[in-house]
Amino acid sequence: MMIGRKNIGRASPLLLVLLALGFSFATYNLITLVIRNRVSGLEDDTVSSGSRSMLRDPITRMPDHVKKQENVRLLFHVALTATDAPYNKWQCRIMYYWYKKVKDMPGSEMGGFTRVLHSGSPDDLMDEIPTYVVDPLPSGLDRGYVVLNRPWAFVQWLEKATIQEEYILMAEPDHVFVNPLPNLARGGYPAAFPFFYIKPAENEKVIRKYYPEEKGPVTNIDPIGNSPVIIKKSELEKIAPTWMNISIKMKNDPETDKTFGWVLEMYGYAVASALHGVQHILRKDFMLQPPWDKEVGKKFIIHYTYGCDYSLKGELTYGKIGEWRFDKRSHLHGPPPRNLSLPPPGVPESVVTLVKKVNEATANIPGWDTAQTG
């Protein structure tokens, strides 16, 4: 008996090694499965807000087939909200031109396109750009903050329009596609661009008015706006009404309005998506913003929201009108002329590329100089 018990209680060294290897393998597979389920498809330059500490398998890089399934195209519908103001119109025309240029290039997963026009009535671009007309907010409700119409426009469009694609890219008129854009969303995670100035954690006092403590930490709120975002249509249908209501509440609250200012509606989307438990894969390569981002590289969208001012020596003079400049706000009442002068030597590639893209579009859009866009 003593011998039998001794033999049962003492495993051979070989058996112990095999058991250890088997346990390690099972544990490794479990960890890998969790990581893949949490951040399926993440590439090295992505950050998932829901799993920032689990971006990479600690033992080996995630296999390529986990990052992106080959030969599976997940088309997304490109949607941008716009007004009928001249300032918006010329940007929409350039944006649509570049959508058509890159739509069918290898690597693109762009589907259809809609300009969601929240003027309440058709305009003179209806035949040029696919457009769906929705109503603006009731008079006075936006309190002069025109982008407050954006979530309301999406609510109406999603309720009434027929949208074939499963995913939607929320874009803006001042976006120029510079590389074919794939569907950056993965599984249940939409993809978004992280903005350095959206800082929920630094504004917790205000954020808690709309995102109560029982919902979780403020870090659940992604540092994003609604654009650019690629998201499942079914998810956006849930978020959009909340986004609209929260944005209006924020605008009506003096403290919130003062704190968030012109990015208030962006915070509205970030909070609304967190309230619905939706977290985003943050893609820094989604977009670049001249003049701060200097190289185009493999990024997908140029966002020309900032003015580009330079001396003739190629030195940035931001905040001061340069000897050479390109600023969309210089053309509030009508389109910029064709054949804009190129920047002086020494100006970053991103700015040069932007001006060349604008020039190509304006040279090829019929009636650019003669069309009445007012």
More confident residue, 2 or 141: 141
Q: Which of 79, 30, 68, 73 has its CA nearest to residue 281?
A: 68
Percentage of the chain surpassing pLDDT 90?
77
H/E stretch holding 28 reads helix 13-39
CB 228 within 8 Å of CB 110:
no
Lowest mean pLDDT among 65-79, 86-100, 275-289: 65-79
Output the CA torsion sign for 257, 259, 264, 270. negative
Cα–Cα distances (Å) from 211 to 246, 257, 325, in that order, read 10, 16, 42
**Does position 327 have pLDDT exceeding 50, yes or no?**
yes
Tokens of 168: 């939607």
CB 347 within 8 Å of CB 315:
no
More confident residue, 59 or 119: 119
Q: How confident is the model at residue 373 (pLDDT cuts 50, 70, 90)?
A: very low
Rounded to 10 degrees, the C-alpha dihedral 223/228/234/237 comes to: 80
Tokens of 53: 């500490």
- In DSSP notation, 273-291 reads HHHTT---EEEGGGEE-TT
Spell out the residues 6+ positions from residue 371 whose beta carbon is closer than 8 angstroms to its own.
124, 335
Cα–Cα distances (Å) from 365 to 56, 95, 342, in that order, read 45, 11, 19
As a whole number, mean pLDDT of residues 358-368 equals 97
Long-range CB contacts for residues 138-142, cutoff 8 Å, separation at least 24: 141/248, 142/251
As a whole number, mean pLDDT of residues 99-122 equals 97
Lowest mean pLDDT among 10-24, 92-106, 202-216, 340-354: 10-24
Return the residue matching tokens 């609209």.
244
pLDDT value, residue 74: 93
As a whole number, mean pLDDT of residues 230-250 equals 98
Burial class (CB within 10 angstroms; exposed 0-12, middle 13-18, buried 19+) of 17: exposed
The rounded mean pLDDT for the chain is 85
CB 3: neighbour CB atoms within 10 A? 7
Q: How confident is the model at residue 67 (pLDDT cuts 50, 70, 90)?
A: low
**Does position 366 have pLDDT exceeding 90, yes or no?**
yes
**Does position 19 have pLDDT exceeding 50, yes or no?**
no
More confident residue, 125 or 374: 125
pTM score, whole prediction: 0.82
As a whole number, mean pLDDT of residues 209-234 equals 97
Return the residue matching tokens 């499942």.
232
pLDDT value, residue 71: 65
Tokens of 353: 């590329």
Q: How confident is the model at residue 73 (pLDDT cuts 50, 70, 90)?
A: confident
pLDDT value, residue 72: 76
pLDDT value, residue 80: 96
Q: Which of 300, 50, 299 has its CA nearest to residue 186?
A: 50
Q: Is 100 helix (H, G, I), strand (E, B) or coil?
A: helix
pLDDT value, residue 187: 80
CB 224 within 8 Å of CB 198:
yes
Please give the DSSP secondary-structure letter assigned to residue 242: H
**Does position 243 have pLDDT exceeding 50, yes or no?**
yes
Cα 135 from Cα 120, distance rounded (Å): 4
- In DSSP notation, 115-138 reads EEETTSS--TTTTTS-EEE-PPPS
**Does position 50 have pLDDT exceeding 90, yes or no?**
no
Q: CA angle at residue 348 from 343 to 352, to 5 degrees?
A: 45
Q: How confident is the model at residue 30 (pLDDT cuts 50, 70, 90)?
A: very low
